[in-house]
A and B are shown apart, each in its own frame.
Chain A
Amino acid sequence: MNAFSPRSGLRFAFLSATLLTCLSGCSSNSGSGAPASPTVSVSVSGGSSTRLGATTQFTATVTGSTSSAVTWQVSGVTGGNTTYGTISSAGLYTAPAVMPSSSSVTISATSVASASASGSVAENLMNPLPVSGSGTATQVGSSLNYLVDIVGSGFVSGSVIQAGGVSQTTTFVSATELQATVAVASGTTSLAVAVVNPNPGGSTSSVLTLPVTYFSTTATAAARILDQTSFGPTTATIQHVQQIGIDAYIKEQFAEPTTTLAAIPSSPLPAVCLANNTAYPCAESEWWTAAITGPDQLRQRVAFAMSEMFVVSTQSVAGQAIPQLHNALANDAFTNFATIMKDVALSPAMGAYLNMLNSNKPATGQIANENFPRENMQLFTLGLAMLNQDGTPQLDSSGNPVQPYTELQVQAFARAFTGWTYAASGGGSAAKFPNGTADYVDPMAAVESGHDTTSKILLNGTVLSAGQTAEQDFAQAEANIFNHQNVAPFVCKRLIQHLVTSTPSAAYVSRVTAVFANNGSGVRGDMQAVIRAILTDVEARAGDTNASYDGGHLREPILFITAMIRGLGFTNTDVNGSYESLSNYSTNLSERPYRANSVFNFFPPDYMIPNSTLNAPEFGIENTATSTLQMSLADSIVNNKITSFKVDLSNTSALGVLAASPANLVDQLSMMFMHSQMPTNMRTAIINAITPLTSNAQRVRIAVYLVITSSQYKVIH
């Protein structure tokens, strides 16, 4: 008789294990010639062992009766049960799923015609054969530990995962899944794993080879630094930073060449801005394109921050002037702050915006234009109070801030900065002052006839001698400011606020300020050193391992939009490749690239959230009106209604497929948008909100909407 186990697919040896069970009258049969009275007996035959969950066919042979019908029992229970296994009326025994306390059961058959006649056989139970179907090895954090997860069949609570032949502490998840945390040696690229089931019937599965990818950086840390240093993380960039680590990523970005904005010819205007008959939409399209698609993300992001510190606006400056300024900011982003100061001051854009352009030596009855000189100190470099190196204001004995400069010094700088006008065509000084022919490509150039040559007393009593040229006065005046003690704390705090957190501790500002003052090689204003100090500071990285670390800053509207386009993978559909439509969305939210309402930027750096002690600049444009409009924008985003762009969030999109499991979808969105740090209560609420929806596309739309409109997302932290 063949005992065949359909579950395991294995064939057992033929067994002849017939046992006769002698009941009370049995002995009388032996050796006597007495007339036979009809004696009913039952013998059972079948296998001697069965693996858990498998089956064995038993046969009962009834002698002494015309009826061959029997009743089957397993360990005394008619028909068996889940503990000992079950047996059908035809004698097919199914072993239990879990090993009972004893690994042996008794299979018995009792004659229906004669209840006293029965036969039985002992059956040994064995663990199933483990089958390792597939597996993964997922790095735990940034460690050398990997969570090995094997999915297969035939697993029992005593199953052990072996990795490289070594038994691991194994977690029994279910009969089809086992897990173990495995420590690997550095440089390991694959892991051979197998499952060993214990006795009785102990057996080892075939070997699976799992690829091991080492990430020096967690997905959380990678996504966080990308939110601080790019225009929005993407799945690809997160993985890249995970692979190379934060330090290497910063180095790589420092080396990335500038994505430049193309110059905008005045006539004829490019098609992108021809319809509006003005250049600024072209500048905006160029800017959005570089921000969203440029590989020099950190450079562009720092340039963006700088553009919000050294503000010009196309509300009063020609759009043609923007590429020159922006390219200077991007080119200078990793040089020296003194270079940035100089290039900004001499850009035609800043010149036109704050009137250093064509600022003439004052005639009798006039004063020199104070606009650039005042804001250059108040808004760009020094501020209105003497600062300690930790960014806190210095106070006099009455508790009032000590002013870093006087009205007379403003007027002195105003005279020092006279004499600059548009460069001659192709660069260099023009023939006359002022030069009425606009040159938006080259820095402004001095014409001495427009320069005030009287002496000037600047900060810290520095005197510019009478008779100096415009270039000499300019260079010395800028150096005078650059070396002022306020510049480091003033600039560093603002950069920290733009890139990392609105509320840096004084100690954090101090640490970065010290690097600004001296990069370690005696250089002041080294931007690479400053940026690295900002990004790698313990306060910048604290959130990598503590999701509720109190810090961060509100995602300003432009960064919200770029993060959506990059993160969700929108593609441009405009016939001219224009990205300018994005400006209309950001304008609704009070931002438009290089088009602030005033030199004070879209939001003031010292903005305080009302009734709080929180200095949070971006909140200056977060109110019930803009918040409502941002929700509407989010609705347009998830419904693929962004002009000139398209995105696929349908049932068949990657997210749509994932949406079959609401939890998997939400976890993916957490990785893409929330550094894999979505709070549990939020995760549960979103899963609950989308689970009843029958359309996977709608699950995606609503889940994304809920994520991107949440304050947890809006505040980068």
Chain B
Amino acid sequence: MRVHRRGFIKYASLAAAGNIAGLRPFGALNALAQSGSTDYKALVCIFLFGGNDANNMVVPYDTKGYSNYSSLRANLALPQNTLLPLTPLPNFALHPSLPDVQSLFNSGAAAIVANVGTLTQPINRAQYLKGGIVPANLFSHPDQQEEWQNAAADGATPTGWAGRISDVLAGSYNASATIPMITSVDGDTLFCNGMSTTPVSVSAGNVGGGSCSEGSECGARQAAAQSLLTFASGVSLVTADNSITSNAYSYDAVLTAATKSVTPLKTVFPANNGLAAQLQQVAEIIQVRAALGVQRQIFFCGIGNFDTHSDQLTLQASLLSGISPALAAFYAATQEMGVAGNVTSFTMSDFARTFQPNSNTGTDHAWGSHHIVIGGAVKGGQMYGTFPTLALGGPDDSGSNGRWVPSTGSVQYASTLAQWFGVPVAQLASVFPNIGAFSSNNLGFV
């Protein structure tokens, strides 16, 4: 029986999951870290929750393309003279609120991947309209978020692709790590969980958040609190929470110790900017990678409110104008740390939005979307994938409102990043069970 949602599938016991982190006392650094090895790579996922309207993020800029865009987008069309041109890609331009992405793209540190979406197998409009196989619950936020994160055919697969990468690589790269391979600065998400992987979650700016006001009794109090978490309970949820809380005590101690006497980064991150705070936290953890004993790390960041059903021009401009300087600061921080070529950031989002506006100066849920990849290793200044034909009811429309059928699967996007990160081709199928359905497992952008 195959049932919708992650939960109906049985997996290893929770107790086992709790132990996977393989915690060791802080300070047990591995030899590579102590010798200052440069074999370090990090993937940084930036999830734009709600479904970013990529149709207004990457816009045709040539006369004919812009004119078509403008007539269909009507009151949601961005004025051509406000768009930010891309030097190596003259037929396209960026949303006016993304000047830093424009700079990164023009300097070759950023790439665009066009019309990526959740797919079980390649499909076109005709096949879709005939009832071809597509992922479950298209156009539904939670399902599409989950399917981007688990790179599977539906939300029922209970592991994310980062989690599965960790399952495969943690043993060889992070054998001496004191924290898990995956760190989330935006809570627990499906993306981060593997069969034998659970993430460490960090509240941005709150590393070392555990506090105790009992002076000399603190050690005893914390020990007693942790001892209570070891008692067997007949209540499943108590057992589950014991595992999370035990890890919380352990990781808090590890991160507090590792970050205690670090010289702050010089890079200034924009203030009052949720994504910037998260990326700064990511940078500060990368900074102490040697102390944490990690050679491979995957980070999850996320910001929300992209579900712009109304007043889209104002809302999206506000959101993107927060992202742009945050991405710039983070890239600068990786340069400052000398790891710009070792860190690759990329966007994900539920879906794009209808090309056709709705009656509230907004847009509704759609499918294939454009995404941005940033990093020193990125073969930037290019667009990968195939930009859709912007025509309502046209060859790339799944219906009549401009909900693009993806020409590239999100699993291909993920697989490309995974290979750069170190997943051998031979093990791709264990991380991405669907990858064989696609002609290419590497889009070549990094």
Known contacts A623-B244, A702-B214, A611 near B17 by CB under 8 Å: yes
Which one, B184, B188, B213, B233, contacts A712 given CB within 8 A?
A: B233
Proximity string of chain A (541-575) to chain B, C-beta cutoff 8 Å, 1 when within and 0 when not = 00000001111111000000000000000000000
> Shortest beta-carbon distance, A517 to chain B, in Å?
24
Minimal Cβ-Cβ distance residue in B for A370: B364
Considering the complex, which residues of chain B in the window 191-240 have a beta carbon less than 8 Å from any beta carbon of chain A?
193, 195, 198-203, 206, 209-214, 217, 220-221, 224-225, 227-229, 231, 233-240
Q: Which residues of A sit under 8 angstroms from B245, Cβ to Cβ?
A: 627, 709, 711, 714
Which one, B7, B72, B224, B237, contacts A608 given CB within 8 A?
A: B7
Do A399 and B217 touch (CB < 8 A)?
Answer: no
Do B359 and A366 touch (CB < 8 A)?
Answer: yes
> Shortest beta-carbon distance, A587 to chain B, in Å?
10
Proximity string of chain B (1-16) to chain A, C-beta cutoff 8 Å, 1 when within and 0 when not = 1111111111111101
Do A359 and B214 touch (CB < 8 A)?
Answer: no
Binding stretch for chain A, among B246-254, B289-297, B371-379 = B246-254
Which one, B4, B10, B50, B213, contacts A613 given CB within 8 A?
A: B10
> Shortest beta-carbon distance, B98 to chain A, in Å?
22
Which one, A371, A550, A609, A717, contacts B364 given CB within 8 A?
A: A371
Proximity string of chain A (385-399) to chain B, C-beta cutoff 8 Å, 1 when within and 0 when not = 100000001010011
Minimal Cβ-Cβ distance residue in B for A354: B309
Q: Which residues of B sit under 8 angstroms from A549, Cβ to Cβ?
A: 234-235
Considering the complex, which residues of chain A in the window 600-617 have a beta carbon less than 8 Å from any beta carbon of chain B?
600, 604, 606, 608-616
Asked if B305 is at the interface (CB within 8 A of a chain A CB), the reply is yes
Asked if B49 is at the interface (CB within 8 A of a chain A CB), the reply is yes
Minimal Cβ-Cβ distance residue in A for B10: A613
> Shortest beta-carbon distance, B173 to chain A, in Å?
21
Binding stretch for chain B, among A20-28, A206-214, A263-271, A629-637 = A629-637
Interface centre among A355, A395, A597 (most CB of B within 10 A): A355
Do A366 and B357 touch (CB < 8 A)?
Answer: yes
Q: Which residues of A sit under 8 angstroms from B229, Cβ to Cβ?
A: 710-711
How far, in angstroms, from A427 to B207 measured CA to CA in the complex?
50
Minimal Cβ-Cβ distance residue in B for A709: B225
How many A-B contacts if CB must be within 8 Å? 286
Do B136 and A401 touch (CB < 8 A)?
Answer: yes
How far, in angstroms, from A478 to B142 measured CA to CA in the complex?
24
Proximity string of chain B (130-157) to chain A, C-beta cutoff 8 Å, 1 when within and 0 when not = 0000001101111100000000000000
Do A613 and B9 touch (CB < 8 A)?
Answer: yes
Asked if B241 is at the interface (CB within 8 A of a chain A CB), the reply is yes
How far, in angstroms, from A358 to B198 measured CA to CA in the complex?
44
Do A705 and B221 touch (CB < 8 A)?
Answer: yes
> Shortest beta-carbon distance, A317 to chain B, in Å?
12
Do A620 and B188 touch (CB < 8 A)?
Answer: yes
Do A367 and B224 touch (CB < 8 A)?
Answer: no
Q: Which residues of A sit under 8 angstroms from B237, Cβ to Cβ?
A: 502-503, 552-554, 614, 616, 619, 715, 717
> Shortest beta-carbon distance, A59 to chain B, in Å?
62
Known contacts A369-B359, A598-B305, A600-B142, A686 near B364 by CB under 8 Å: no
How far, in angstroms, from A401 to B4 measured CA to CA in the complex?
6
How far, in angstroms, from A548 to B188 measured CA to CA in the complex?
28
Asked if A360 is at the interface (CB within 8 A of a chain B CB), the reply is yes
Do A550 and B236 touch (CB < 8 A)?
Answer: yes
Considering the complex, which residues of chain A in the window 625-647 have a beta carbon less than 8 Å from any beta carbon of chain B?
625-629, 631-632, 635-636, 639, 641
Name the prevailing secondary structure of the B interface residues: loop
Do B49 and A606 touch (CB < 8 A)?
Answer: no
Minimal Cβ-Cβ distance residue in B for A360: B359
Known contacts A624-B251, A702-B214, A710-B225, A366 near B356 by CB under 8 Å: yes
Q: Which residues of B sit under 8 angstroms from A598, Cβ to Cβ?
A: 49-50, 141, 304-305, 307
Considering the complex, which residues of chain A in the window 672-717 have a beta carbon less than 8 Å from any beta carbon of chain B?
679, 681-682, 685-686, 689, 693, 698, 701-702, 705-706, 709-712, 714-715, 717
How many interface residues does chain B have, given as a range?
35 or more
> Shortest beta-carbon distance, A468 to chain B, in Å?
18
Minimal Cβ-Cβ distance residue in A for B304: A597
Asked if B37 is at the interface (CB within 8 A of a chain A CB), the reply is no
How far, in angstroms, from A710 to B237 measured CA to CA in the complex?
12
Known contacts A358-B360, A611-B195, A632-B211, A606 near B7 by CB under 8 Å: yes
How far, in angstroms, from A693 to B251 measured CA to CA in the complex?
28
Q: Which residues of A sit under 8 angstroms from B234, Cβ to Cβ?
A: 548-550
How far, in angstroms, from A575 to B177 measured CA to CA in the complex?
50
Q: Which residues of B sit under 8 angstroms from A705, Cβ to Cβ?
A: 221, 225
How far, in angstroms, from A452 to B309 measured CA to CA in the complex?
18
Do B364 and A715 touch (CB < 8 A)?
Answer: no
Asked if A590 is at the interface (CB within 8 A of a chain B CB), the reply is yes
Asked if A112 is at the interface (CB within 8 A of a chain B CB), the reply is no
Do B221 and A395 touch (CB < 8 A)?
Answer: no
Do B235 and A551 touch (CB < 8 A)?
Answer: yes
> Shortest beta-carbon distance, A600 to chain B, in Å?
6
Asked if A650 is at the interface (CB within 8 A of a chain B CB), the reply is no
Minimal Cβ-Cβ distance residue in A for B7: A608
Do A625 and B201 touch (CB < 8 A)?
Answer: yes
Interface centre among B137, B143, B231, B359 (most CB of A within 10 A): B359
Minimal Cβ-Cβ distance residue in A for B163: A610
Do A624 and B359 touch (CB < 8 A)?
Answer: no
Interface centre among B12, B224, B360 (most CB of A within 10 A): B360
> Shortest beta-carbon distance, A662 to chain B, in Å?
13
How far, in angstroms, from A664 to B368 measured CA to CA in the complex?
63
How far, in angstroms, from A367 to B353 measured CA to CA in the complex?
13
Do B358 and A362 touch (CB < 8 A)?
Answer: yes
Q: Which residues of A sit under 8 angstroms from B270, Cβ to Cβ?
A: none
Q: Which residues of A sit under 8 angstroms from B209, Cβ to Cβ?
A: 625, 628-629, 632
Asked if B95 is at the interface (CB within 8 A of a chain A CB), the reply is no
Considering the complex, which residues of chain B in the window 306-322 have a beta carbon less than 8 Å from any beta carbon of chain A?
307, 309-310
Q: Which residues of A sit under 8 angstroms from B137, Cβ to Cβ?
A: 384, 403
Asked if A621 is at the interface (CB within 8 A of a chain B CB), the reply is yes
Q: Which residues of B sit under 8 angstroms from A378, Cβ to Cβ?
A: 140
Which one, B6, B72, B224, B248, contacts A627 given CB within 8 A?
A: B248
Proximity string of chain A (469-495) to chain B, C-beta cutoff 8 Å, 1 when within and 0 when not = 000000000000000000000000000
Known contacts A624-B201, A709-B245, A632 near B238 by CB under 8 Å: no
Q: Which residues of A sit under 8 angstroms from B241, Cβ to Cβ?
A: 554, 619, 622, 711, 714-715
How far, in angstroms, from A620 to B184 measured CA to CA in the complex?
13
Minimal Cβ-Cβ distance residue in B for A589: B203
> Shortest beta-carbon distance, A472 to chain B, in Å?
20
How far, in angstroms, from A395 to B5 measured CA to CA in the complex?
13
Do B203 and A588 touch (CB < 8 A)?
Answer: yes
Asked if B74 is at the interface (CB within 8 A of a chain A CB), the reply is yes
Q: Which residues of B sit under 8 angstroms from A702, Cβ to Cβ?
A: 214, 217, 221, 224
How far, in angstroms, from A600 to B140 measured CA to CA in the complex?
11
Q: Which residues of A sit under 8 angstroms from B240, Cβ to Cβ?
A: 609, 612, 614, 616, 619
Asked if A416 is at the interface (CB within 8 A of a chain B CB), the reply is no
Do A682 and B4 touch (CB < 8 A)?
Answer: no
Asked if A365 is at the interface (CB within 8 A of a chain B CB), the reply is yes
Q: Which residues of B sit under 8 angstroms from A608, Cβ to Cβ?
A: 5-7, 158
> Shortest beta-carbon distance, A417 to chain B, in Å?
11
Proximity string of chain B (169-194) to chain A, C-beta cutoff 8 Å, 1 when within and 0 when not = 00000000000000010011000010
Asked if A36 is at the interface (CB within 8 A of a chain B CB), the reply is no
Which one, A604, A610, A631, A685, contacts B248 given CB within 8 A?
A: A631
Proximity string of chain B (320-331) to chain A, C-beta cutoff 8 Å, 1 when within and 0 when not = 000000000000
Q: Which residues of A sit under 8 angstroms from B354, Cβ to Cβ?
A: 367
How far, in angstroms, from A538 to B307 measured CA to CA in the complex?
42
Task: Given contacts A614-B14, A625-B187, A711-B239, list 10 more A-B pairs with CB under 8 A.
Answer: A361-B359, A363-B359, A366-B74, A384-B143, A393-B4, A621-B188, A625-B184, A686-B228, A710-B225, A715-B241
Report the 7 A-B pairs with minimum CB-CB distance, sorted nearest first. A548-B234, A608-B7, A623-B201, A711-B241, A627-B248, A371-B309, A625-B201
15 example contacts (A-B, Cβ-Cβ < 8 A) are as follows A354-B309, A371-B307, A395-B1, A395-B2, A554-B237, A590-B187, A609-B240, A611-B195, A613-B7, A619-B244, A622-B241, A625-B248, A681-B231, A711-B238, A714-B241
